[in-house]
Copies of this chain bind each other. A is one copy, B any other.
Amino acid sequence: MTPKISQFLAEKQPATPCLVVDVDAVEERYRALQAALPLARIYYAVKANPARPILDRLVSLGSSFDAASWEEIEMCLDAGARGEDISFGNTVKKVSAIRCAWEAGVRLFVFDSEEELDKIARHAPGSRVYCRLLVDNYGAEWPLSRKFGTTVESARELMLRARDLGLDPYGLSFHVGSQQIETDSYEMAISRVAALVSDLSAAGLDLRMVNLGGGFPIRYREDVPDIDTFGEAISVAMRKHFGNALPEMLVEPGRFIAGAAGVVSAEVVLVSKRGREDGPRWVYLDIGRFGGLAETEGEAIRYAIRTARDGEETGPVALAGPTCDGADILYERSPYALPLSLESGDRIELLNAGAYVSTYCSTRFNGFAPLAEHYI
């Protein structure tokens, strides 16, 4: 938690649940990534947190943007980004969205299938396209591999088809999975990409870009390798596989930029043993899986939790949200321990929760209003 967020929470005591993001911390993270990968162009993954103050700051820093929908493209344009700074990075796009994007000056589109490529050729003629490769997501706490990406053989065929369709066959992308803690994953993916680039070059097609995706991890409860470690591993792998013919590099960080810049402030609604003396205490918060903490599904993302009673004796707890839904349980198997004196009305904080929270939250499940947001 940054000093600015601590001070804001202490002085304002905002109604809970709410998300508080330090926009200066967003800038720090952007600069840290830039320093770690000076040759890469940063396309902020808007989906991680599309709040206007974040987009404004990133526009002022010269960032580019990775958008998942026409609506996200509009948000970037509204914040002052130009069409040419935006990548339409969803492999699944409605025709109407492709058309709107093209009319707004977006010229960079991803695909991983023939039908999508044909849609882009027809509705965004002449655009730069890149093909998403299927890569192993081993090591990622929030994997993405089953749904996206195609095989090397198919990517080869589709890039040649892209040329035949009058598109600009610009490059290749992959995504090692979100909250990826293994640098190896990037190295393996880069070697696959390089082999295909070389193969296509022999076929007369010179690709100029590699999109390394995102996935850079942040600290939740455990330490993760720092961004310089990833930067170094990626640079070494790129040089090893591409030599002096380095292609343009793109990265699409979301969690890395917004995650560590934010805190969720919540309240304990109930502490209960519910008649089972041998079980853990159940601690119910005023935010749960449907109030924004969607990434606790399967207990994948395990937020660090701070209470005002830290330092006192603790005991094991299960943590759940405030809705009547049995699936609204945050942590039951992951070992969490909280102060024994914790009670209804206590405030708690979930740290490094600036990404993938505000937009996941439900419109009004169980009647609860969407998560309040403060950008400071």
Contact = CB atoms under 8 A, between A and B. Distances in A.
Interface of A: 45-47, 50, 67-75, 89-95, 112-116, 119, 134, 137, 142-151, 153-155, 177-178, 267, 269-276, 282, 284, 286, 290, 294, 297, 320, 322-329, 332, 343-345, 358-370
Nearest to A16: B94
Contact of A69 (B47, B148, B368): B368
Contacts of A146: 326, 329, 332
A326 B270 contact: no
A47 B367 contact: yes
How many identical chains are in the complex? 2
A69 B367 contact: yes
A112 B324 CA distance: 13
A334 B345 CA distance: 43
Contacts of A360: 290, 362, 365
A7 B46 CA distance: 39
Given A94-B286, A326-B177, A112 B272 contact: yes
A369 B359 CA distance: 10
A131 to B, nearest CB: 10
Contact of A359 (B114, B143, B274, B363): B363
B275 A366 contact: no
B71 A368 contact: yes
Nearest to A74: B367
A322 to B, nearest CB: 5
Contacts of A322: 69, 90, 92, 94
Contact of A142 (B113, B274, B326): B326
